[in-house]
Amino acid sequence: MGGIQTYCQELADRFVHLTHKFSVVAPDRPDANHFDNKTSYRIYRVSGRNVWLPATSMPTLHNLVYNAGYNVTFHAQWQTILSSYQARRKGDIKAIFCAAHGRELLFNVAEPGTRTHKWYDGLRKFFLNEADHFFAVSNYTADLLQGHGVACDRITVMPNGTNPDQFYPGDASEIRERLNLKDTKTILTICRLVRRKGVDTVIRAFSKVVSTHPEAKLIIIGDGEDRQRLETLASDLGVRQSVRFTGWIAHDGMEINQFYNLADIVVMTPRTDPVQVEGFGIVYLEANACGKPVIGSRSGGIPDAVMDGETGLLVDEDNPDQLAEAMKQLLDNPDFAERLGLQGLQRVVDDLNWDAIAKRIFNKIDYIANMENKFSGATI
């Protein structure tokens, strides 16, 4: 679960068809076989804690390079570049590519001003300079990379995508009836329930919306450490009966698509935290893929995901008054809301879908490697 995990799976599902040899190295998980047996590529699982993956993945990666002839690595985050760095020192890895999302470029294991903090920043800068090229999910993330000394010609901004076969406009009458939401204006938010996601701002804004739209309902999909506080906030604001907490809903089933289609508006307004940031926001594209207008905050890479006034609306973070006005604008102007949703859908169909994104990333990999005469034909 999560944006980076989705990013990895969606690219892997497509890379396997773009190159003649492809495998994945990933952390082990309980019941991993249930997932692995459904893929069309080999997944090599590495046991141990995630924090040790850069080191524990080395034997597996080196075996693939030396014995199976792999010549390119694509890293989900910079930390695991360590394993490729060791292999390239012996001349067997020809090119190293890496995705960049956001948080991993801000996070530090230690308190500022300490030796460990300085050491970690130095380590990150060293491995960032070992990658041949980065694929940043937003302009915001590209700026973070440049702040760490990565030259702009080693960065391609490549946004996230969505899967139109999984998220698409559909009939939500069955779920409306099941939830007793007929003839009800419905606002949906979907995310992990943690403070930085700004769900409290959504609830505060919603409490202002019900003064003019008393029939409106807010549905919150997700779970997390902040749930109890959010439920209490809804009660304190007198809107608990109009707010429904569903808990987490799996992204690989039909139900999540039905919830998107149920909504009149999809809202997610994260706030910027010193080391926590929304690098892009796949939720906005999933909602657009269902033809729904979205509202996001001007935070991190969200302005790349939400085209203000074209596929949705942007508001200042931590501003419930502004968010409430944006909600009312869409609820009071259904033609405008529909136009935003349809333009978002067209953007996904034309450009921001995983088939298109994977091909663009792979073609860039192939171009860069061949331009520098590093190899002919990528095995990842």
| Same domain membership, residue 200 and residue 339 | yes
| Same domain membership, residue 190 and residue 107 | no
Tokens of 187: 């606002």
Is 380 part of a structural domain of the chain? no
Please tell me the predicted confidence (pLDDT) of residue 368. 83
Is the model's pLDDT at 91 over the cut of 80?
Answer: no
Is 167 part of a structural domain of the chain? no
Is 256 part of a structural domain of the chain? yes
Average pLDDT of the segment spanning 227-255: 93
pLDDT (tens digit, 9 = 90+) per residue, 106-150? 998 899 999 999 999 999 999 999 999 999 999 999 999 999 999
Angle at which helices 282-289 and 334-350 cross, to 10°: 110
- Domain hosting residue 285, numbered range: 173-350
| Same domain membership, residue 194 and residue 283 | yes
pLDDT band at 94 (very low <50, low <70, confident <90, very high): confident
pLDDT band at 87 (very low <50, low <70, confident <90, very high): confident
Tokens of 98: 């890496």
Average pLDDT of the segment spanning 91-99: 87
Is 378 part of a structural domain of the chain? no
Is 346 part of a structural domain of the chain? yes
- Number of H helices and E strands in the chain, helices first, is 16, 12
| Same domain membership, residue 157 and residue 62 | yes
Q: What is the mean pLDDT of the chain?
A: 92
pLDDT (tens digit, 9 = 90+) per residue, 271-297? 988 778 899 999 999 999 999 999 999
| Same domain membership, residue 359 and residue 218 | no
| Same domain membership, residue 126 and residue 115 | yes
Please tell me the predicted confidence (pLDDT) of residue 274. 73
Is 332 part of a structural domain of the chain? yes
pLDDT (tens digit, 9 = 90+) per residue, 323-340? 999 999 999 999 999 999
How many domains are there within the chain?
2
Please tell me the predicted confidence (pLDDT) of residue 281. 92
Nearest to residue 265, comparing CAs of 338, 174, 192, 193? 338
| Same domain membership, residue 43 and residue 179 | no
Separation of alpha carbons 47 and 197, rounded Å: 31
| Same domain membership, residue 137 and residue 184 | no
Is 379 part of a structural domain of the chain? no
| Same domain membership, residue 342 and residue 193 | yes
| Same domain membership, residue 330 and residue 188 | yes
CATH of the domain at 234: 3.40.50.2000
pLDDT (tens digit, 9 = 90+) per residue, 148-173? 999 999 999 999 999 989 999 999 99
Separation of alpha carbons 121 and 124, rounded Å: 5
| Same domain membership, residue 362 and residue 312 | no
Confidence (pTM): 0.91
Is the model's pLDDT at 374 over the cut of 60?
Answer: no
pLDDT band at 259 (very low <50, low <70, confident <90, very high): very high
Nearest to residue 264, comparing CAs of 232, 307, 312? 312
| Same domain membership, residue 149 and residue 283 | no
pLDDT (tens digit, 9 = 90+) per residue, 11-50? 999 999 998 899 999 999 888 999 999 999 999 999 988 8
Is 333 part of a structural domain of the chain? yes
Amino acid at 108: N
pLDDT band at 341 (very low <50, low <70, confident <90, very high): very high
